[in-house]
Amino acid sequence: MSVEVQVRRITANDIRVRKGGEPIVALTAYHAHTAAILDEVVDFMLVGDSLGMVMHGLETTLPVTLDMMILQGKAVMRGARRALVVIDLPFGSYEESPEAAFRAAVRVMKETGCGAVKLEGGQRMAETIRFLIERGIPVMGHVGLTPQAFNTIGGFKVQGRDPHSADTIRVDAEAVAEAGAFAVVVEAVVEPLAREITHAIKVPTIGIGASPACDGQILVLEDMLGLSARAPKFVRRFGQLAEGIRTAVGDYAAAVRDRSFPGEENVYLPKGGALPPKT
Ligand code: KIV
């Protein structure tokens, strides 16, 4: 007799009610295998459009398409059973109108089965966020450094250093929260401002290069694992995976060259058979 254990998946609402409580733990995920590992630990995983850089070696997130997001979203959903999976709406798929955003978000949710979408932008996206939520789509906001605006903000720069930019980010975060977002990513924003926003808005803030006072933190998995060659200042390398891979690949190459791999344990032999002795 097999006993199937039902796992209740974390929802957007479960994240919303964590405001001010135990910090929310999040990481990006793009593959089924890593999603299965993360699933035991994180509250939510984000299929971020950073996959353009991490998986495809692109310079920015701008070329990422809805089909790319859906493909990796499906992979992550196959690995994750417990954590909420949030998928980014990529550049060009949602900015034109609330209706365009709805069509993109519906494709993402129907084709992947994820629990929420994320989109970038503050005040200017508030109407769209409201439109999606009224139609059953949980939305996570994203303010501060919004990488899809790379060309208008002039690069990946820390945000909120001058009073005008600080005011804009404050208003953006409030507008997104007021519109009904269940949480707001605050990216690369100077410390006092991110802390202030966290105290001012009623939904959790998820910091990345922001304040330890945020209600939760997110990092790009490959950055914190030490797999990406370069990472921003706000990343702590919790692992050194690139080194591990380099060593393993070097060991493999040496074993192939000296014929110690495959060994007897890796070869299909006839019953009772053995590999001939090495000459
Ligand atoms: O795409 C992404 O990885 C993100 C995180 C940086 C929050 O949006």
* Shortest-distance Cα residue to atom 5 of ligand 1: 48
List pLDDT tens digits, range 147-194.
999 998 888 888 889 999 999 999 999 999 999 999 999 999 999 999
Give the distance, in angstroms, between the CA of residue 56 and the centroid of all CA atoms in the same chain.
15
> How far apart are the CA of 8 and the centre of ligand 1, in A?
25
Ligand 1 site residues, Cβ closer than 6 angstroms: 28, 46, 48-50, 88, 185, 187, 208, 218, 220
Q: What does DSSP say about strands 24-28 and 205-208: parallel, antiparallel, or unpaired?
A: unpaired
Cα dihedral 143→155→48→207 (10° resolution): -40
Cα dihedral 162→126→48→217 (10° resolution): 60
List pLDDT tens digits, range 101-153.
999 999 999 999 999 999 999 999 999 999 999 999 999 999 999 999 999 88
Q: Which residue numbers are catalytic?
A: 187
d(CA 178, CA 165): 20
d(CA 8, CA 29): 20
> How far apart are the CA of 118 and the centre of ligand 1, in A?
9
pTM: 0.95
Atom of ligand 1 at shortest range from CA of 49: 1
